[in-house]
Copies of this chain bind each other. A is one copy, B any other.
Amino acid sequence: VTYCLAMRLDAGLIFLSDTRTNAGVDNVGTYRKLHVLHAGDDRTFVLQSAGSLATTHEVLSRIDRDLTDPGARQSLATVQHLFEAALYLGRLNKEVYAEHAPTVGLGAAATFILGGQIRHERPNILLVYPEGNYIRVSDTVPFLQIGETKYGKFLLELAVRAHVDLETAAKIALGSMLSTAHANLAVGPPYDAGLYRNGTFEVRELRIEEDNAYLRQLNEVWIDQLLDSISHLPPIPADLVEEFS
């Protein structure tokens, strides 16, 4: 499995991916699932992937080839809008899937999150399906997830509700990742984060290892806070159930 999430805040974008891959529990590996793509000074792209690792790698190879091939009819350097980048990515994804699906089947499918900024356009985040189409974040739902999305979703919704800033969103993203990794062994460290401030056209990348002291501290404080929350829940009223009040 995989867990990747991306959030759009007023000041920028946050991306977080795990690195665990598995082809059965006796074949667990570590592969990067967050990629910063360089395609010019007026644009920046972050790509996150879930699903077939083989399809992901071939899509990445094709993106690179199109960027260096002067005869390419389209590339991340030529698209004018982020949604065109998503459709371009979707086309590559469909082509690679079509190439391998006859032998691999549905297991050849990959899903991507593509985020970034082109020129003065508002930074955005889009989810590209194996079928080649996409959805994007909105002001009411400013995050996207791929892979094992259910365990960590409540924290992202909480961040939306709290209108958090970029730094707090980063903490919450890590909390969402830790919740997911705790629940599903097929999601695990190290974690790759990408942090983008609007208009900078530069993504700050960092890899957070399992033994990172801050990650441990964050986890402990979060658990303590949750346990504390339990003690503040209101008592069940007598009329709801006599013997439990």
Contacts and interface: CB of A to CB of B under 8 A. Distances in A.
Interface of A: 150-151, 153-154, 157-159, 161-162, 164, 166-168, 170-172, 175, 179, 182-183, 193, 195, 197, 204, 206, 208, 212, 214, 217-218, 221-223, 225-230, 232-237, 240-241, 243-245
Contacts of A240: 206, 208, 212, 214
Given A151-B154, A241-B195, A214 B234 contact: yes
**SS of A interface (majority):** helix
B229 A229 contact: yes
Given A175-B233, A233-B175, A150 B183 contact: yes
Given A151-B153, A229-B229, A241-B195, A234 B221 contact: yes
A179 to B, nearest CB: 6
Contacts of A183: 150, 153-154
B172 A230 contact: yes
A206 to B, nearest CB: 5
Given A183-B153, A244-B170, A161 B227 contact: yes
Nearest to A153: B183
Contacts of A214: 234, 236-237, 240
Contacts of A228: 225, 229
A223 B154 CA distance: 11
B158 A230 contact: yes
Nearest to A223: B161
B221 A233 contact: yes
Contact of A151 (B150, B182, B227, B230): B150
Nearest to A245: B167
A244 to B, nearest CB: 5
